[in-house]
Copies of this chain bind each other. A is one copy, B any other.
Amino acid sequence: MSALTFELLHQDSRTAARRGRLRLTHGAVETPAFMAVGTQGTVKALTPAQLEELGAEIILANTYHLFLRPGHERVRQAGGLHRFMGWSRPILTDSGGYQVFSLAERRKVTEKGVTFQSHIDGSRHLLTPELAVEIQEALGSDIAMAFDECPPADAPKAAVAEAVERTSRWAKRCLDARRRGDQALFGIVQGGVHDDLRRAHAEELAALPFDGYALGGLSVGEPIPEMRRITALAAPLLPADKPRYLMGVGTPTDLVESVARGIDMFDCVMPTRHARNGYLFTSQGKLVIKHACYADDLGPLDPRCDCYVCRTFSRAYLRHLFIAKEILAMTLNTLHNLHFYLSLMRDIRRAVEAGTFVSFQAEFHARLAESGGDPLGDDESGD
């Protein structure tokens, strides 16, 4: 039995954009797909029912966080993460690699794995490739990620090269460690912004029997044109019949541009985290809901949006909730921002399917330029 099948439905003739369908243990996912982030076993501020209503087909959860709290054995006892969190559709878990490098304290990397202190209570742990697989198998996600070393954006090339080599050795250990037949395993290509390292690593991992491939170590602070160049370089080196996942990306523009370079899957905290901070995505650009100019604005957040929030509430009410620090502000803002992202992915899929992706892409950029670009990282500064 295969834990994953990937059907390529359409290949754009003018770009590397692809329209596909993933079949996973818990259901199908239309690609290109965006995965909302549910770090601690919940997409913050939403019920699973609300996520389903939004049309989310797959979400991401974090091995690092769930390992520390409530603990993967506890989740296993509860029947796995799907049952624990009341979500019956597919879940991808990352391996914890990125989090031990970005969140944990007193980190030490050895060939065996990474020792670190928990950001919650300072407790010491050792995360190894084998343990990362074991945790993800206990969680029972549809897609597990190989444990990787993720150097910072400013790491010297020699350090990146070393991380690439270690990530390859760890990738093989992850493949050896897997026991479940109903869970897909993706490899993660590292190599920073160095073309030669990326090329070599993509080719090396592509030769291993992973069910899909991710580009890691991007969107970690490097200039956007670098990210675009590496994506364009690495994606075509990965097997065309396997899904390609760009980790931790990104802005709406990033999604459109990365699809054009052959990416099928994305995850990012941006829509949900921005929502909680009152930064809202609209067809007219980003909107900062706390601003006084919305105090008497009786129009919907986005006149072109048909989500529950835009159908039901005014900007004035959303501003009131945010200013009054009401929990409902977090929920409504998250509903809207995720709807924006998931709608964008639907539009992208439709355009690729219809063979109109290039004109879609042009219209997307024209609309963005018209709205004055984006003060929060949405403008396309190069490439």
Contacts and interface: CB of A to CB of B under 8 A. Distances in A.
A41 B84 contact: no
A110 interface: no
A258 interface: no
A320 B41 contact: yes
Contact of A42 (B49, B69, B295, B328): B328
B327 A44 contact: yes
A46 interface: yes
Interface in A64-87: 69-70, 74, 77-79, 84-86
A49 B69 CA distance: 32
Interface stretch (A90-98, A228-236, A311-319, A338-346): A311-319
Nearest to A298: B78
A276 to B, nearest CB: 8
A331 interface: yes
B328 A47 contact: yes
A320 B75 CA distance: 10
A312 B85 CA distance: 8
A317 B85 contact: yes
Given A42-B321, A296-B77, A70 B316 contact: yes
A40 interface: yes
How many residues of A sit at the interface, in one of the four size bands? Answer: 35 or more
Contact of A312 (B48, B319, B323, B324): B48
A99 to B, nearest CB: 15
A330 interface: yes
Nearest to A42: B328
A41 to B, nearest CB: 7
A326 interface: yes
Interface string A288-321: 0000000110100000000010001110110111
Contacts of A48: 312
A36 to B, nearest CB: 13
A39 to B, nearest CB: 9
Contacts of A86: 312-313, 317
Contacts of A85: 313, 317
Contact of A327 (B45, B296, B314): B45
Contacts of A319: 70
Contacts of A308: 47, 49
A70 B294 CA distance: 12
A292 to B, nearest CB: 11
Nearest to A313: B86
A325 to B, nearest CB: 9
Interface string A82-119: 00111000000000000000000000000000000000
A332 interface: yes
B77 A298 contact: yes
Given A74-B295, A74-B296, A328-B46, A69 B317 contact: no
Contacts of A77: 296, 298
9 contacts: A40-B321, A40-B326, A41-B321, A44-B328, A47-B308, A47-B328, A70-B316, A77-B298, A327-B331
Which 4 residue pairs are nearest across A and B when measured between Cβ atoms? A45-B327, A86-B312, A70-B320, A42-B328
